[in-house]
Amino acid sequence: MRRFRIAASIVCACMAAAIGAQPADAAGDAKAGRQKALKCQACHGLDGQAKLPDAPNLAGQNVIYLAKALQDYRSGARHNEIMSVVAHPLADQDIADLAAYYSAIPVTVGPPPK
């Protein structure tokens, strides 16, 4: 029982550290992100619904995922012909704002039509 408590304490401490170590991406400003998303709307739509068949929908995506994807496009860790160029000049705050905006767009899901 004592080993279990020690192990549980270690797991909780690691989880707390991981949560605390999350990047400040979650501190983005969705209102500012909406203004910045005007440049994204040709492909991803201002509503986060893709306008091109090869572009992903961004509405309702996880803020951490969105920020990481943009950071990876900017750094070259992830490559897409268009996104690599678009993300390159983005500052950390731009990424945080865009991620906050697109993640804040509500998405509803329903059964497919019969």
SS3 state of residue 23: coil
CA 46 to chain centre: 15
Q: What is the pLDDT of residues 19-57, one digit of tens each?
A: 444 444 459 999 999 999 999 999 999 999 999 999 999
In the prediction, which pLDDT does 3 show? 56
Element (H, E) at 68: helix 63-75
CA distance 98 to 67: 8
Spell out the domain ranges in the chain: 25-104
The residues, any chain, with a CB within 8 Å of residue 61's CB and separated by 6 or more, are 48, 102, 103
Tokens of 21: 């170590």
Q: What is the pLDDT of residues 1-23, one digit of tens each?
A: 555 455 444 544 444 444 444 44
Q: Domain 25-104 sits in which CATH superfamily?
A: Cytochrome c-like domain (1.10.760.10)
In the prediction, which pLDDT does 1 show? 53
In the prediction, which pLDDT does 109 show? 87
Q: What is the pLDDT of residues 58-91, one digit of tens each?
A: 999 999 999 999 999 999 999 999 999 999 999 9
| Residue 46 buriedness (CB in 10 A; 0-12 / 13-18 / 19+) | middle
* Residue reference for tokens 């991406």: 25
